[in-house]
Structure 1
């Protein structure tokens, strides 16, 4: 072991105790010593003592103690951001290490729309970020089944989680927006108002009857016959026809973020049908404590955040 350089101070002696940092982070997040104590399983007095020790160590006041409440000082706010980020990085890296020892094959269920338009194009990033995780992906159309926990580890569904004990996280909303390809617009007069839509160019998915009628009512263009146009069995066929330039369809805005960004599709109008349920992601109860499943869930949520 190399000899310590004369006069060098060990890093640990220049850092506050982990216990005091945990107390400060919890108290700062809750703005309550009592809530922090409940989270950490200690007394409010112990939290107060740890924070007082931290303030003495730093030579700075982190909280203003007011009547029945505590408020972070400007220095406390800045320090909380740094400490919170450090804890999150430690948690993320720890989860990665746990995941390496966890079940590497994760069975995931997703709707066909989401799998084809959003999830599969992002899998190369998952492989680069978490090479230890391998997916067994099942995609299905229609309403989500009553998922069998023994068959899936993680699920992404449109609407309520079919597993009653699941703890879903919101991936993104289910807004439907009118889109077409630049090829469709080429050589046509500009479409600047919903009332200028060609009813014969409306693209429908039979499994989503009524979407155009609802959207035209929202856009105050009810004079257009919502029953006319080109009909396909499902949204994926309708999507392919739209990309090919056959017309205009209503599609989930968040699932075609890549198409809109890359110019394959154009959003004609901002009006969106917002009554659709959210897209949810959750681990099945048997896997909700799995490090690998939680790692994948957090990666999915981060990918969704990137598109906003």
Structure 2
């Protein structure tokens, strides 16, 4: 019996490696998705590594105000993208703002995936009282619009960036949990799961070895879409005045603050908007490309 089990495990691992290798090959061949992924990586590296280097190279400071140099045009006096209404370098502030916006997107999406997948796994696998309890936990926050709830929280207590990330995660996991629960309800009735249960596999082994690996494609794709959505959420909250507060720059509050000075410095509006547009588009393209790479059969049916 143990020999048969070992053979089955080896076969399953070989098949899993083959599927992931095929997914990587498909992803690399999809040029648009690959370009979007490279742009995201380069943008992330630039936002986290470039600001100190550029400050020394250009002899500028993102926090130093210089009112006489306000609304400097792009390319003038070492200011590659110009300056804002306080004379602060726009390029450096965009990079520092990208740190915050991307931190919100990456960290909150990881937390959302962790919470949603964990609760969805438990609800779908065990059912009964566990499912009823988690479903109640899902429906309770879903009954109130998350944006409205966040505005109320921000009006009472203006959260710093760290707490904003946590709050967005606590308000955003509901959809992921529902999606994972529905998939688990289907997966746990498949033959290989029932066979593993009949052979005496524990609940933990079933969840970790047989069910969760089949959720990886959904988890990865959903995470990339959520990250793009969070960039827009941060910008929208900043527009409403309840996002990250100045002087801490984010793409959202830079775009919001620039509305007042559209005539004096149109570049103040253009660049944050372009960064938001490119980043969100790249997240969506990567998510769509990952969906095609990880589940090409479903992709062909959806395009037919």
TM-score by length of 1: 0.23
Give the structure with the larger strand fraction.
1
- Looking at both structures, which has the greater relative contact order when contacts are Cα pairs under 8 Å and sequence separation is at least 6? 2
Choose 1 or 2 for highest CA Rg: 1
TM-score by length of 2: 0.23
Give the structure with the larger helix fraction.
2
